[in-house]
Amino acid sequence: MRLQKEQIQDIQGEDIAFHEERFDALSNFLSKKEINIDAITDLLAGFQVAIPSWALGAGGTRFGRFSFQGEPSNLEQKIEDVGLVHTLTRSAGAISLHIPWDVPDDYGAIKEKASSLGIIFDAVNSNTFQDHKKDKYSYKFGSLSHYDQAVRDQAVQHNIDVIEIGKKLGSKSLTVWLADGTAFPGQKNFQTSFLNTGESLKQIYRAMPEDWKLFIEYKPYEPNFYSMVIQDWGTSYLLATECGQNAYTLVDLGHHLPNTNIEQIVSLLMLKGKLGGFHFNDSKYGDDDLTTGSIKPYALFLIFNELVHGMRNNQGNPPMSWMIDASHTIKDPLEDLIQSLEAILEAYVKALLIDQEALRAAQEENDVVKCQEILQEAYRTDVRPLLERYRLKNGGALHPIKAYRALKIRENLVKERGVNTVATGL
Ligand code: RM4
Ligand code: MN
Ligand code: MN
């Protein structure tokens, strides 16, 4: 299914006048503060968030999976789904593939489809947390960290194969997330596991084209519950530094122990020029993969404050790869992604509104109350009319969820694809 701009325009006629009123009020308010609203909408055009190919179908939990009707059953349909989200929001102009879940059959056709929808291929993701049918060895006891050289070699080769696939699609980065670790104390030696992982990653790094980046993702627990080899940002940073200049840490918002100060991690990684990738989601307890902004929107805003600071001041840090890494167990995946995108852009724009000079001055005066006032003044501003304006100007929907429902997109997908389709993924 492909959505035309005109279809969107047709259904939102009445909402435009109300939008204009609210937009004018916001733009008057912001111009009094000498904030340039056009500069912000321009930044939004450059802020595209990749949709992972595995988030377009229903996600399962370890207890079961409730399938979703009209799920995409192949990569082309997944790209069409990202196209729908992008057409409505103008913010999802990229897809991130997980291999071997989404190996293209016909590269030409896949590239053609993506580019016709304005979608590029972001980081490719390797998978050594599951066994692959064609492989000789199992990853049950690890992959890049495995004690057995033969298993490590197989895992390294898988990553190299993923790079080859990415090259054919125009990707420029590889994300490695390892499930390696131990389920019980004493199962393995921490140092050996770390050293093996470092050696394996260096081999993968050397196989990467020079203009590629390697993203190393960390996670404190799950699926291993006693120890994970790359448990935190410090471990990822050490490994990225050992690999070389084009290796970076990737922060996934759900990969921290409860109440970790993620904004501080972001800040220091950017200072060191080592934050390369970012996975958005939200969580109450762990790697819950919930809709971004559904649980801790203020924390997301504080994280964006550091991201904005880093993007402005840390020239040594590369442009980031943004991705939504969520799992949709009960919501329509496309609606969930649209909600996440809205929350992400809202937090980004609010962070852009922070009066940085005043904040710096208040910090220097140790005026703690004023510091909080400055942050919250930005946070409490309702920036939704600005996001609406960005979408309107670029042919998207004023209210993407409303448009998605009014245009009966899911109903159409079910008609087209049937009720029993199942997307690859977890
Ligand atoms: C992991 C991690 C990775 C993702 C897999 C599916 O928890 O977040 O980024 O590739 O899940
Ligand atoms: Mn992730
Ligand atoms: Mn995760």
Instruction: State the pLDDT at residue 364.
Output: 98
Cα–Cα distance measured from residue 122 to residue 6, given in angstroms and rounded to the nearest whole number: 28
- Asked if the model's pLDDT at residue 359 lies above 80, the reply is yes
- Average pLDDT for residues 302-315, to the nearest whole number? 98
pLDDT interval class at 84 (50, 70, 90): very high
Q: Which ligand is nearest to the CA of 283?
A: 3
Confidence of residue 34 (pLDDT cuts 50, 70, 90): very high
Please tell me if the CB atom of residue 346 comes closer than 6 angstroms to any atom of ligand 1. no
Q: pLDDT digits over 322-354, tens only?
A: 999 999 999 999 999 999 999 999 999 999 999
pLDDT recorded at residue 82: 98
Distance (angstroms) between ligand 3 centre and the Cα of 195 equals: 24
pLDDT at 352: 98
Task: Name the DSSP letter for residue 261.
Answer: -
Q: Give the closest residue to 279 by CA, choosing from 177, 364, 194.
A: 177
**Could you read off the pLDDT of 188-237 as tens digits, one per residue?**
999 999 999 999 999 999 999 999 999 999 999 999 999 999 999 999 99
- 264, 275 Cβ separation under 8 angstroms: no
Kindly calculate the radius of gyration of the chain based on its CA atoms and give it in whole angstroms.
22
What percent of the chain lies above the pLDDT cut of 90? 95
pLDDT at 292 (0 to 100): 98
Distance CA 269, CA 275 (A): 5
Query: Residue 208 has what pLDDT?
Result: 98
**Residue of 97, 99, 217 to test ligand 1 pocket, by largest number of atoms within 8 Å of CB:** 217
How far is 248 from 233, CA to CA, in rounded Å? 10
**Is the CB–ligand 1 distance for residue 287 below 6 Å?**
yes
Res. 425: pLDDT tops 90: no
Distance CA 149, CA 147 (A): 6
**Is residue 289 in contact with ligand 1, taking CB distance under 6 Å?**
no
Identify the three-state secondary structure at position 397: coil
* Spacing, Cα 24 to ligand 3 middle (Å): 40
Distance 44 CA to ligand 2 centre (A): 23
Ligand in nearest proximity to the CA of 289: 3
First-last CA distance in the chain = 24
**CB–CB of 187/226 below 8 Å?**
yes
Neighbours of 246 (CB within 10 A): 17
Q: Residues with Cβ within 5 Å of ion ligand 2? A: 252, 279, 325
Asked if pLDDT for residue 424 goes beyond 80, the answer is no
How far out from the chain centre does Cα 59 lie? 16
Closest residue (by CA) to atom 9 of ligand 1? 177
pLDDT at 421 over 90: no
Statement: residue 67 has pLDDT above 90 = no
Determine whether 177 is exposed, middle or buried from the number of CB atoms within 10 Å of its CB (0-12, 13-18, 19+). buried
Q: What percent of the chain has pLDDT over 70?
A: 100
Residue 222 CA, closest ligand 1 atom number: 7
Enter the tokens of residue 400: 């993407």
Average pLDDT, the chain: 97
E strand map for 88-177: 94-96, 120-121, 124-125, 173-177
Tell me the residue ranges of DSSP E strands in 285-372.
321-324
- pTM higher than 0.85: yes
**Tens digit of pLDDT for each residue in 114-147?**
999 999 999 999 999 999 999 999 999 999 999 9
- Model pLDDT for residues 37-58, shown as the tens digit of each residue: 999 999 999 999 999 999 999 8
Atom 6 (ligand 1) nearest CA: 426
Instruction: Scan for tokens 């922070």, then name that residue.
Output: 354
Residue 277 has φ and ψ, to the nearest 5°, of -130, 155
125 Cβ inside 6 Å of ligand 1: yes
Q: How far is CA 182 from CA 61, 188, 195, 199, in A?
A: 21, 7, 15, 19
